[in-house]
Amino acid sequence: MATQKMLSLKERYEFPLHGRFVRQDEAALRLGVSYSQVDALVAKGELPPPVRRGSVKTWPGELFLHRA
């Protein structure tokens, strides 16, 4: 069985936020900042630390509901 292709950022952006995790690229898009700026926001304490899923940084989607 082949591994499923990862959805594009645009496809992931259209999914509801409730009950899922958001990768760093989507978090940056939703916050209107660059990819590296997300790390800076975490360092300043303005965004909670990510939940690691292997080597991938993710945040709970609910975190972005009030920001959207």
Q: What is the pLDDT of residues 23-54, one digit of tens each?
A: 999 999 999 999 999 999 999 999 999 999 99
Contact present, 53 and 21 (Cβ < 8 Å): yes
Q: pLDDT at position 2, please?
A: 72
What value does the CA radius of gyration of the chain take, rounded to a whole number of Å?
12
Q: Which of 63, 10, 19 is nearest to 41 (CA)?
A: 63
Distance of CA 59 to the CA centre of its chain: 5
Q: How confident is the model at residue 1 (pLDDT cuts 50, 70, 90)?
A: low
If pLDDT is split at 50, 70 and 90, which confidence band does 64 have?
confident
Domain boundaries, the chain: 16-64
In the block, tokens 């760093």 appear at 24
